[in-house]
Structure 1
Amino acid sequence: MAVELYDTEEQQVEAIKKWLNENGRSIVVGIAVGIGCVFGWNGWQNYQTAQFREASDLFQGMLEANQNANEESVSKTAERIKENYGDSPYAVYASFFLAKQSVETGDLEAARKELESILVESSESAMKNLARVRLLKVLLAEGKASEALELINGLEGSARTRFEAAFHELKGDAYVALGQEREARTAYKRVIELGRKSRFLNLKIEDLPVPDLPQINQ
């Protein structure tokens, strides 16, 4: 409130009274809302903490069920985490776990759907890129090399930085599946340039046909 200069103290008091009459209700409401927000925020924080703990306990139980080879319990617990604690990171972990389980049982379509759901639901770039890497492997296993290439080529630079080498290697795998050996070799060499080397990658390169040498006119 800006109190203007008045000729007398009485005029200033009257001005303050008038301002309070006009704005007092909003002040009281504002204070009440402020107090409510404080207690509401604390309650929300407590609720979130409890939810996180419950999701964590369920996830731990799911891991134990997996160690005991109780696949039915694993699936039910994972679905429960996703349904009741969808806003927690454990929902994403559960989707990764279900995708892995589906791959192991040969249900590639189910695995693909789980990984695609992570791309939609997760806000963490690292989790989304990890899901993309695993999704690309599933697509290649399904024989969908062209779709895998479209996914890789459609990524923006910021989404590829941390997983650049992995994406290039999978890009090479896709080109191999499509019979485009020259493009595959280029992609694999890019992986090496990025500092990622492995015996398995070398074997992939060695398995590629030797490129034709240019003809020299005599």
Structure 2
Amino acid sequence: MATHLDLQEQEQLDQLKHFWKQYGNLITWTLILALGAFAAWNGWQQWQRKQAVEASALFDEVERAAQAGDADRAQRAFADIKERYPRTAYAAQAGLLAASTLQAKAKDEAGRAALQWVAEQAKQEEYKALARLRLAGLLIDSGSHDEALKLLENMPPAFEGLAADRRGDALMAKGDKAGAQAQYEKAYKAIPESQDLRQLVLAKLTALGAPPAPEAAASAAR
């Protein structure tokens, strides 16, 4: 009986040796790759967290500078964050905040440059859209109406109401009242009733002699 078991064990051992000889390298490399991928993923997660923490600290610096009205300090902090952490949401937020601070201190070129960076380099579509809207307003104010209209093309659907209002402003400044009215009507329908901007759009339509009909206004509100 013992001899039978010994022979069975030897046969199983031989089968295991044959299996390992045939598939051992494949199994080893599969395990190495799996463990390597896990280590890389874990390292990436840690790096991402480190980036977010450091970017947050720099954004806090931009925020403190903005609250103090220190445009130069805000600009320096934004330069640091966009150089070191350009892919983070904090970089885009810092650009928008720095732009406001710079413009409040009549540093228009620097403020515009900050918005331009966000519009072109931000990784988050919502921040890019906000920067484009604000840049378009500056372009309209400076008389670059066609450039503003081009900048407002292909906006994300969530920003279409705001973009339509801004396009209406650009067309109105060009003297195209019919085109402006069409854009304001589009904006009025797209902007939620709860937003104050909707009432401003209504005022613009009224000034053009084209306020929405009561039933149309009620339908848009619903």
Indicate the TM-score class for this superposition, using the shorter chain for normalisation.
Answer: 0.7 to 0.9
Q: What corresponds to 1:176 in structure 2? A: 172
Deviations 1:108-133 (A, max 9, x none): 44434333332333333322222221
Question: What is the TM-score when the length of structure 1 is the normalising length?
Answer: 0.75
TM-score in terms of structure 2 length = 0.74
Q: For the residues of structure 2 that align with 1:38 and 1:147, how far apart are their CA atoms?
A: 48
* Higher helix content, 1 or 2: 2
Length, aligned pairs only: 199
Question: For the Cα contact (< 8 Å) 2:102–2:111, is it kept in 1?
Answer: yes
Residues 12, 101 of structure 1: CA spacing in aligned structure 2 closer, same or farther, 3 A cutoff?
Answer: same
Deviates further, 46-55 or 106-115: 106-115
Counterpart residue identity of residue 193, structure 1:
K
Q: Which residue in 1 is equivalent to 2:90?
A: 90
Residues 187-207 of structure 1: per-residue CA shift (max 9 Å, x gap): 222222335564533443344
Q: Is the 8 A contact 1:65 1:74 kept in 2?
A: yes
Alignment of 1:1-218 (within 5 A): 17-152=17-152, 154-155=153-154, 159-195=155-191, 198-208=198-208
Range with bigger deviation, 120-129 or 47-56: 120-129
Shift of 1:101: 2.8
**Long gaps (5+) in structure 1:** 1-7, 211-218
Amino acid at match of 1:144: S
Amino acid at match of 2:54: E
- C-alpha distance in 2 between matches for 1:46 and 1:160: 32
1:216 maps to none
> CA–CA distance in 1 between the matches of 2:31 and 2:11?
28
In 2, the alpha carbon distance for the partners of 1:37 and 1:84 equals: 26
One-letter code aligned to 1:58: L
Q: Secondary structure at the match of 1:162?
A: helix
Query: What is the CA–CA distance in structure 2 between the aligned matches of 1:195 and 1:44, rounded to whole Å?
Result: 40
Amino acid in structure 1 at the alignment position of 2:111: A
Offset, 1:81: 1.2
Superposition CA RMSD, Å: 2.9
Whole-angstrom distance in 2 between the partners of 1:201 and 1:100? 23
Q: CA deviation at 1:173?
A: 0.4
Distance 1:105 1:178 in 2: 29
Distance 1:104 1:123 in 2: 26
**In 2, Cα distance between the equivalents of 1:111 and 1:73?**
13
Equivalent AA in structure 2 for residue 85 of structure 1: Y
- Are the aligned partners of 1:133 and 1:167 in contact in 2 as well (CA < 8 Å)? yes
Q: Percent identity?
A: 28
Q: Which amino acid aligns with 1:149?
A: L
Structure 1 residues 149 and 71 mapped into 2: Cα distance closer, same or farther (>3 Å)? closer
In structure 2, runs of 5+ residues without a counterpart are 1-7, 211-222
The residue type paired with residue 27 of structure 1 is: I
Aligned structure 1 segments of 4 or more residues deviating by more than 6 angstroms: 8-13
| Structure 2 contact 184–201 (Cα < 8 Å) conserved | yes
Distance in structure 1 (CA, Å) of the matches to 2:119 and 2:9: 66
